[in-house]
A and B are shown apart, each in its own frame.
Chain A
């Protein structure tokens, strides 16, 4: 008996130790980013590195904020991310409900098309998107960026919401139809309240997607005043000397909101992640 117990204990200890090692490796870069952003120059470039800063300083944040012109980047990113989230959720909810509840020609094609759009190589698309947007006067405009982001957020949100709507009981909607609700009334009064958790999760995905997007923002936005955070950060990387301190402070500013959102909404995000691969 005790032999078996000992073996179980050893087994558990090994699992703990391996997981601990894995987590130290996986989470070290995140810790290092935050820690560097709070160190002074002397400590950052010392021969013997310290894991956590001995002296805490916000000097890097000040430099990032003032010397590197951060406030407009932050404002632009917030505007773009919030607008994209609102618009793409609206469109995707209708879209997903239409695919989930109605039969129509080409439904399967539409659904497979949604999956395929997630796999298109973006550099090929951006060549034409750039030319078309330039024509329509949508380059160098935050509105143009929002339109582009919505298009990329909608297919994913639609697929996820469709599988969530498929799982809702039909009885309530049938009752609503008998009471004379049309499709839109049914969506707002019955479907949205019932599917609120998945809709919230999809909102988060859209927010994170547009908050961190890089290539389209780099290509479509040219004037410095309209740059978003991810592109703004890469502009801090100069040609000769990289100012690592302010750079890590900027990096932390992009990262921390996403990490906080993740901690709050973990359950929903994990459901969304797994559905993508498990259910298609």
Chain B
């Protein structure tokens, strides 16, 4: 490939094929992902009649100013913050714990690993409906079990009360994503050289030192990328909240993606919705850029 300059026809042909191969994919992605993104950002500075493509007037930051006075938006920002922080922290801690257990050698490890993966395989909507049934105030199994154990006196309307709804959906989100974290961390754990542990013990180290200096260092890179990915995915999650509570009751489960969608398609305020979406994009963007920079640095170090 370095000989490109010498063989004139070859260079043309090589590049010609490269462009032929990547054009269809690039076109689709450009038209249906990049263009809507750019136009979405631009539309947050304009007004437009619903259903029409044309912008009416440039209003600058007006939609963003509106957001500052919008109590539901402020609520959604707060909820999104808690939603992301709690879910990602729980995912990492539980995921690491389960991965460490699965990393012990014992019979039937393969079957255990497959069974751990089930929640990840259950489609999002199916998970939402099943948990909605389990959380039901009448005949819901969670209420029945907790009452049987004496932990609650009378049945709780988990998804119907403002105090418990967000936490309840968080539990479902954690349940759904923890298998992914387990699989990724387990792969990283298995790639650690076991002779390193022997070296620590020979040098008189204890189990805690071995865990901290060998295990945690060995899975550091994978942990950072997994946490960044989970922050992005969790912040962007839509299906669970939309289908379990639609942001209610009293906006107690309102999060940024759901509020963006509802503002556009239920209230028909497309430009305000775009402004909410852009705020979400900026937040996610910070972590997305961090992810890319971290990966590039790691690749540079490896080579």
Q: Which A residues are within 8 Å of any B CB, using their own CB?
A: 11-12, 15-16, 18-19, 22-23, 26-27, 29-30, 32-33, 36, 44-45, 49, 91-92, 94-95, 97-99, 101-104, 110, 112-117, 119-132, 134-135, 147-148, 150-152, 154-155, 158, 182-183, 208, 211-212, 214-215, 219, 230, 233-234, 237, 242, 244, 247-248, 250-252, 254-255, 258-259, 262-263, 266, 270, 273-274, 276-278, 280
Contacts and interface: CB of A to CB of B under 8 A. Distances in A.
B180 A273 contact: yes
A219 B260 CA distance: 13
A15 B104 contact: yes
B126 A26 contact: no
Interface stretch (B62-70, B129-137, B195-203): B129-137
Size category, B interface: 35 or more
Nearest to A279: B295
Given A151-B29, A277-B225, A15 B115 contact: no
B204 interface: no
A277 B126 contact: no
Report whether over half of chain A's contact residues are helix, strand or loop; otherwise say mixed: helix
B284 interface: yes
B29 A113 contact: yes
B215 interface: no
A277 B184 contact: yes
27 contacts: A15-B101, A15-B104, A22-B116, A32-B134, A94-B24, A102-B18, A103-B4, A119-B291, A122-B257, A124-B37, A128-B35, A130-B265, A183-B17, A212-B124, A214-B125, A214-B242, A237-B129, A242-B133, A247-B133, A252-B126, A254-B125, A254-B126, A259-B118, A259-B121, A259-B122, A266-B114, A270-B187
Nearest to A35: B141
Contacts of B122: 29-30, 255, 258-259
A124 B17 contact: no
A215 B129 CA distance: 15
Contacts of A151: 28-29, 31-33
B219 to A, nearest CB: 10
Closest 3 CB pairs of A and B: A124-B277, A98-B21, A102-B18
A128 B125 CA distance: 24
A123 B273 contact: yes
Given A29-B127, A91-B28, A121-B284, A19 B36 contact: no
Nearest to B180: A273
Given A113-B29, A278-B225, A135 B53 contact: yes
B75 interface: no
Interface of B: 1, 4, 14-15, 17-22, 24-26, 28-29, 31-37, 39-40, 43, 51, 53, 98, 101-102, 104, 106, 112, 114-119, 121-127, 129-134, 136, 138-139, 141, 144, 175, 178-180, 183-184, 187-188, 222, 225-226, 229, 232, 235-236, 238-239, 242-243, 256-258, 260-261, 264-265, 270, 273-274, 277-278, 280-281, 284-285, 287-288, 291-292, 295
The residue among B53, B129, B138, B274 with the most chain A CB atoms within 10 A of its own CB is B129
A277 B17 contact: no
Nearest to A20: B112
Nearest to A30: B118
A10 to B, nearest CB: 13
Contacts of A97: 21
B133 A103 contact: no
B292 A123 contact: no
